[in-house]
Structure 1
Amino acid sequence: MIDRLARFGVRHWLLAALVAALTVLLWIAGFATTRPADNRPKPPLALMTSLPLLWSEGGIEVDLDKDAAPHPAFMRLSAHYDITPIDDLEAWAPKPKQMLLLAQPRAFAPRELVRLDNWVRQGGLALILADPALQWGSLYRLGDKRRPLFTSMLSPLFAFWGLELVLPLEDEVPASMRKIGLFHIRTVTAGEWLPKESVTTKRCAILAKGLLADCRIGKGRAVLVADADFLDAAFWEGQGMRILTGKDEFANIAMLQALLSALHDNKGLDGDFVGK
């Protein structure tokens, strides 16, 4: 009798855990499928990242225990884009007109790099956030697989496109405020794009004092940002009255959305994103 009751209790515990997990998944899906106020369908956006934007570092189990929400940057993007998280470029089947956002992604296998390059050359649109020295707060030590990737591992792809990602060493203060065209942003240890002298064909225009690169690759386009820390809510969300009024302290997310809009509409970056 006791054994039967124990088995009954275990089954109910597993069922409750499954229902809770499905509830969180549907809740997050709700952020990604909510349409704008004008009821137009949102542009599709594939997202690959090592940053804790969808789940916390502890994974779904910790999020269930703490009733956690997606990261504010993910929630903000979800209001404007139909986001599909992906974790394998080879298995990814792009939707029609789907853009790709790579935010400090994991290291890619050679075949994934080839797939990404071919997809862009055939007309794909990609926004890549590549940080040379990520300072995103973490519960885990450097080298732990659960931690966001410390430095971008896409150097072979950037070199093939004619660029090099470096970390400037002359900055005395790692945290900085910048004016990037129309946008006042705040970040930390941002990198810089430099052209590779060995590449004769210049595919990329370097803008905003090296923070941005606009690359025309075949029929497609890739916009590169030499930073990923600027997505961290600590740098843009604000405190006190700014949170109560719903206003951002810095325009980090506004700049991210503007970059995606420029990609989607095939607009140049020279006007709005030239650093002053």
Structure 2
Amino acid sequence: MLRSKLALGMLAMLCAGSAAAWLLARGAEDKPSLGLVTSLPVYWPEEGSIEDMLSGDSPPHWVRTELEVGYRLVPLDVLSDEMGNGTPSPALEKLDLLLLAQPHALPPADLVALDSWLREGGRALILSDPMLTEHSHFALGDRRRPQDIAMLDPLLARWGLSLQFDPDQQTGVRTVMLAAPVEARIVVELPGKLIDAKNPEKAANCAIGNDGLVALCQIGKGQALILADAALLQVERAEESGHSEGLEALLDSAFAQ
């Protein structure tokens, strides 16, 4: 009798474990997929070697933790197909949502592919920081180092925007309340300013707000919300109150239908 009870108990535990695993897998399937292109240590920690990176000893970046609550993250290395002709890659074509946060310099084919993907209905949150303040263990010029200066000028120019930087502005981290086209409370540090580039052939309709800190662009069937700063995503922001809410508000505004 005791053995029967133990067997039944173990069977119940196995069934419960299988059900939990199924629910977790099902939950992941039900989450919308979010493409991620970034030079910041959001998905992979900043480590000196592949072995250290894969060891799992470093805690996950707070932004990755926050994003994975509501999305299935899909890290992307390239945006164009293998032919390099500006057609979106198969991985990008499968996505509806994209977070582009201070990427390394993208080749022209990737920029064209991103523009084409947006025109077909994609939605993107783009953080383009002209003077990144993210701390890095790696020296200037090291490919593993986050991109210090935004490299999206050709794409912004196509959309009729120009990203400028004022070296004489107030230094240090400060909190700002964003108004239309997006309402959020975020931190910034040495942000840039988006202005109208006066491009008569601009290929987007952009509304600039918050003294140039934010622009919301309608690009064909899709849209891009652009923030001229990336301090919100720095690992140092992890313990500060309200910053996950600021990120969530930006994502909601960028991906709103």
TM-score (norm 1): 0.73
| Structure 1 position 82 matched with structure 2 position 72 | yes
In 2, Cα distance between the equivalents of 1:64 and 1:198?
46
The residue type equivalent to 1:113 in the other structure is L
Deviation at 1:35, TM superposition (A): 7.2
Deviation at 1:97, TM superposition (A): 5.4
Residue range with higher mean Cα deviation, 52-61 or 211-220: 52-61
Q: 1:169 aligns with which of 167, 170, 174?
A: 167
The residue type equivalent to 1:72 in the other structure is W
Structure 2 counterpart of 1:193: 194
Structure 2 counterpart of 1:52: 41
Instruction: Decide whether aligned partners of structure 1 residues 230 and 43 sit closer, same or farther in structure 2, where only a CA change above 3 A counts.
Output: same
Q: 2:234 aligns with which of 225, 232, 238?
A: 232
In 2, Cα distance between the equivalents of 1:71 and 1:89?
24
SS at match of 2:215: strand
In 2, Cα distance between the equivalents of 1:236 and 1:208?
24
Query: Which structure 2 residues correspond to residues 91-170 of structure 1 after superposition, within 5 A?
Result: 91=81, 92-93=89-90, 94=92, 96=94, 98-170=96-168
In 1, Cα distance between the equivalents of 2:67 and 2:26?
12
1:22-54 CA-partner distances (Å, limit 9, x unpaired): xxxxxxxx9xx7777xx9811110001100112
In 1, Cα distance between the equivalents of 2:99 and 2:153?
17
The residue type equivalent to 2:60 in the other structure is P
Instruction: Decide whether aligned partners of structure 1 residues 122 and 65 sit closer, same or farther in structure 2, where only a CA change above 3 A counts.
Output: closer
1:53-76 CA-partner distances (Å, limit 9, x unpaired): 122222542234561132111111
Deviation at 1:114, TM superposition (A): 1.0
In 2, Cα distance between the equivalents of 1:99 and 1:64?
27
Maintained 8 Å contact 2:187/2:231: no
Structure 2 counterpart of 1:210: 212
The residue type equivalent to 2:229 in the other structure is D
How many corresponding residue pairs?
A: 222
The residue type equivalent to 1:53 in the other structure is V
SS at match of 2:239: coil
1:133-157 CA-partner distances (Å, limit 9, x unpaired): 1110001111111100101111000
In 2, Cα distance between the equivalents of 1:186 and 1:262?
17
In 2, Cα distance between the equivalents of 1:65 and 1:41?
29
The residue type equivalent to 2:120 in the other structure is Q
| Structure 1 position 253 matched with structure 2 position 244 | yes
Structure 2 counterpart of 1:73: 63
Deviation at 1:95, TM superposition (A): 5.7
In 1, Cα distance between the equivalents of 2:25 and 2:37?
20
In 2, Cα distance between the equivalents of 1:136 and 1:114?
28
Instruction: Decide whether aligned partners of structure 1 residues 54 and 184 sit closer, same or farther in structure 2, where only a CA change above 3 A counts.
Output: same
- Runs of 5+ unmatched residues, structure 2: 1-20, 82-88
Measured on the aligned residues, the alpha-carbon RMSD in Å equals 2.4
Deviation at 1:228, TM superposition (A): 1.2
| Structure 1 position 264 matched with structure 2 position 255 | yes
TM-score (norm 2): 0.78
Q: Among the aligned pairs, what percent are the same residue?
A: 38
In 2, Cα distance between the equivalents of 1:34 and 1:234?
31
